[in-house]
Structures are given as structure tokens and as C-alpha cells.
Amino acid sequence: MPRIIISCPSTGADVPTGHRTQDFDLAAVVEPRSFRCPVCHEVHAWRGDDARIEGGIREPALPH
């Protein structure tokens, strides 16, 4: 199952948030979630608009 990734605000490195998804709607994550960054060891908060799915998997397009 692909991981949810953000860019570390301190280093710019791509880091996993600790969450995985098969068919997760990132836009639904409006409340911040926090995790300890494995790169800089600081706590970062993220929302769906900050994140992407590992491996370039795109979310399905919404119907118009």
C-alpha cells in the first residue's frame, strides 16, 4: 500500500507521514495531522493539500 508523503519544511526532503492508503481522498484531510519527521526529527503538521501519494499515484478525477 503506498505511503502518504510530504516535503519536510526544514530540509525539503520527501518524508513519509506514517500513513498509508489504497484509495484515500487527501482532500478530505482538513484537520492537521502530526508526526515526527525521520529526517530532521521535528514534529510537522500536515493536511491533505500538503501531501501526495508515494509513487506518483494520482487521485481519481472528480466528475464535472
The DSSP symbol for 27 reads: G
Handedness of CA 46, 5, 24, 20 (dihedral sign): negative
The whole-angstrom separation of Cα 10 and Cα 25 is 26
22 Cβ contact list (under 8 Å, min separation 6)? 1, 2
The whole-angstrom separation of Cα 60 and Cα 7 is 22
pLDDT tens digit sequence for 15-62: 999 998 877 678 788 899 999 999 999 999 999 899 999 886 554 444
58 Cβ contact list (under 8 Å, min separation 6)? none
What is the predicted pLDDT for the residue at 57? 53
- What's the pTM? 0.75
